[in-house]
C-alpha cells in the first residue's frame, strides 16, 4: 500500500516537473518574441508623414508611403526598436544612408535618411541601442528619420508597433 502510494506520488511529481519545464520554455519563448518585436519610437521628434497614400513632396503625385517620418535636428540619436541583426548598412539615392535590421519572427525595420551609423552589417543589436544619427541624406526635404516596419515581407503601419504615450496622444489628436 505504501509502495503504491509512493509510486503514484513519484509519477505525479514527475508529471508536474515536466509541466513546469514546458511552462518555463513557453515563457522564455514569449520573452524572446517580445524582445524581437519592434515596440518603441526609434527617435525623439514629431511625426510629419504617416504610413499610407500621400502626395510625393517632389513630384506632387499620389504615391504609397511605406514608413513613418519623424522630424528633429540632424544628429538626433536613432535607436533600434527591437533586438535583431543588421543586414544592410548602405547608401541609396532615395533613402540615403540606410540601415535594415532583421529581428527574426518575420520582422524587419528600415531606418533612412541617416547622417551616420554606429553599427555594421552582421552586428547584433538590442532594443534601445543607439544605432545611428538622424540626417538629411538621399531624397529628403529636411532632417528626419524615415522608419519602416515589415512583417512577413509586407510593409505594415509603424504606428502599430510604437507602444508609448505617443500613440495615445496621436489617437487623441485625430478626434
User: Is residue 33 domain-resident?
Assistant: no
Tell me which residue has cell 529636411: 142
Q: Which of 7, 30, 53, 49 is nearest to 140 (CA)?
A: 49
Backbone angles phi, psi at 36, to 5 degrees: -100, 10
Q: Is residue 152 part of a domain?
A: yes
For the cut 60, the answer to whether the pLDDT of residue 163 exceeds it is yes
- 89-123 pLDDT tens trace: 999 999 999 999 999 999 999 999 999 999 999 99
Total number of domains constituting the chain: 1
Determine the Cα–Cα distance for residues 170 and 175; give it in Å rounded to an integer. Answer: 9
* Better-scored residue on pLDDT, 47 or 6: 47
Judge whether residue 166 has pLDDT over 70.
Answer: no
The answer to pTM > 0.75 is: yes
In the predicted model, what is the mean pLDDT of residues 43-71? 93
Centre a 10 Å sphere on the Cβ of residue 51 and count the other Cβ atoms it contains: 20
> Is the distance from CB of 170 to CB of 51 less than 8 angstroms?
no
Q: Which of 18-27, 115-124, 163-172 has the lowest mean pLDDT?
A: 163-172
**Residue range(s) defining the domain that contains residue 93:** 46-173
11 within a domain of the structure (yes/no)? no
Query: Does a structural domain hold residue 67?
Result: yes
Q: Would residue 69 count as lying in a domain?
A: yes
**What mean pLDDT, rounded, does the chain reach?**
89
119 located within any domain: yes
Element (H, E) at 24: helix 2-35
Model pLDDT, residue 27 = 62
CATH number at residue 68: 2.70.70.10
In a domain, 27, yes or no: no
Cα-Cα end-to-end distance for the chain? 72
Amino acid at each position: 500500500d505504501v509502495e503504491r502510494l509512493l509510486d503514484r506520488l513519484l509519477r505525479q511529481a514527475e508529471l508536474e516537473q515536466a509541466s513546469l519545464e514546458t511552462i518555463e520554455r513557453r515563457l522564455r519563448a514569449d520573452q524572446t518574441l517580445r524582445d524581437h518585436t519592434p515596440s518603441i519610437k526609434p527617435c525623439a521628434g514629431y511625426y510629419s508623414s504617416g504610413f499610407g497614400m500621400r502626395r510625393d513632396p517632389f513630384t506632387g503625385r499620389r504615391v504609397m508611403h511605406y514608413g513613418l517620418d519623424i522630424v528633429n535636428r540632424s544628429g538626433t540619436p536613432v535607436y533600434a526598436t527591437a533586438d535583431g541583426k543588421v543586414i544592410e548598412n548602405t547608401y541609396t539615392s532615395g533613402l540615403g544612408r540606410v540601415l535594415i535590421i532583421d529581428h527574426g519572427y518575420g520582422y524587419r525595420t528600415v531606418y533612412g535618411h541617416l547622417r551616420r551609423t554606429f553599427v555594421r552589417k552582421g552586428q547584433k543589436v538590442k532594443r534601445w541601442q543607439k544605432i545611428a544619427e538622424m540626417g538629411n541624406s538621399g531624397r529628403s526635404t529636411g532632417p528626419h528619420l524615415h522608419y519602416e516596419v515589415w512583417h512577413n515581407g509586407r510593409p505594415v503601419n509603424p504606428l502599430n508597433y510604437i507602444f508609448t504615450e505617443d500613440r495615445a496622444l496621436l489617437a487623441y489628436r485625430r478626434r
